[in-house]
Amino acid sequence: MRIARFVVDSDPMYGVVEGEPGSETVTVIHGDPFFNGVERTSVKHKLEDVRLLAPIIPRSKVIGVGRNYAEHAAELGNEVPAQPLLFLKPNTAVVGPGDPVVLPEFSEEVSFEAELCVVIGRICKDVPEERVDDVIFGYTCGNDLTARDVQKTELQWARAKGFDTSAPLGPWIETELDPDDLDVKGWLNGDLRQDGNTRDMIRSARELVSIVSQAFTLLPGDVIMTGTPAGVGLVSEGDRYEIEIEGIGRLSNPVVRR
Ligand code: MG
């Protein structure tokens, strides 16, 4: 099931996206599916008539995982970390499909990173790997935008990876998906730049949920960005970066400088 968050006139709502590409509909559901489950109303819109929003604004956190694909670690001259390399992005970094990524003034080198994202559905802690499916709500696409110059000069990555608009998410959450063998692709202005598969992750999405939950209590709506495949590069004002993950959909964001 594809769960989207969107607006038609004013207040954000959740809905279920169905139908074939190009003729999808969104059926409004009652309230918040993270707490109420999915109960459909009788209201249905054409997908083209709604504006999609980030499918979730995490109430507490976005957790990032660094260097989780060997080829990507190597392309930036890094070793694969012996321990999982975790970092946090604030929920103020999250934007939705089509929203502009605003390049921060303090960086001249902002990079795109296409990533499979896990969305947590239940409060949990110390989840064994064989039980992580019980706490996962679903999966979405994300871009872990990174100020590469700042990342190289600052020991903490808070500024490099946490600036406003550095975490586009969407277009919706797919709740039925096996995360272990999915193509992850990214296009810069239409040119394919990233072409990976989640089977090449050093730690799988399920392993990561277990590992992350050893450090942090996870809350409904928390997001884990599972790392990016090789092919990362810089974005400039006027660019557009599009991410497609097999079985989920496509997330596209323009890049601006203010
Ligand atoms: Mg990343």
Average pLDDT, the chain: 97
d(CA 79, CA 222): 28
Pairing of strands 62-66, 223-225: parallel
> Model confidence at 143, in pLDDT bands (50, 70, 90)?
very high
Q: What percent of the chain has pLDDT over 70?
A: 100
Determine the distance separating the centroid of ligand 1 and the alpha carbon of 134, expressed in angstroms: 25
E strand intervals along 47-135: 51-53, 62-66, 85-89, 94-95, 101-103, 110-111, 114-120
What's residue 2's pLDDT? 98
| pLDDT digits 0-9 by tens, 51-90 | 999 999 999 999 999 999 999 999 999 999 999 999 999 9
Write b or e for each residue in 42-67: b if 16 or more Cβ atoms lie within 10 A of its Cβ, otherwise e. Answer: eeebebeebebbbbbbbebbbbbbbb
Determine the distance separating the centroid of ligand 1 and the alpha carbon of 113, expressed in angstroms: 6
| CATH H superfamily, domain 62-256 | Fumarylacetoacetase-like, C-terminal domain (3.90.850.10)
Determine the distance separating the centroid of ligand 1 and the alpha carbon of 170, expressed in angstroms: 16
Residue 66 phi/psi, 5-degree rounding, is -90, 145
Residue 26: pLDDT above 90?
yes
Determine the distance separating the centroid of ligand 1 and the alpha carbon of 227, expressed in angstroms: 4
| pLDDT digits 0-9 by tens, 188-230 | 999 999 999 999 999 999 999 999 999 999 999 999 999 999 9
Which of helix, strand or coil describes residue 32? coil
What's residue 10's pLDDT? 85
Determine the distance separating the centroid of ligand 1 and the alpha carbon of 69, expressed in angstroms: 10
Tokens 């100020």 map to which residue? 147
Q: For residues 63 and 219, is the Cβ–Cβ distance under 8 A?
A: no
Domain range summary for the chain, segments of one domain joined by +: 2-52, 62-256
Residue 258: pLDDT above 90?
no
Average pLDDT over residues 104-124: 98
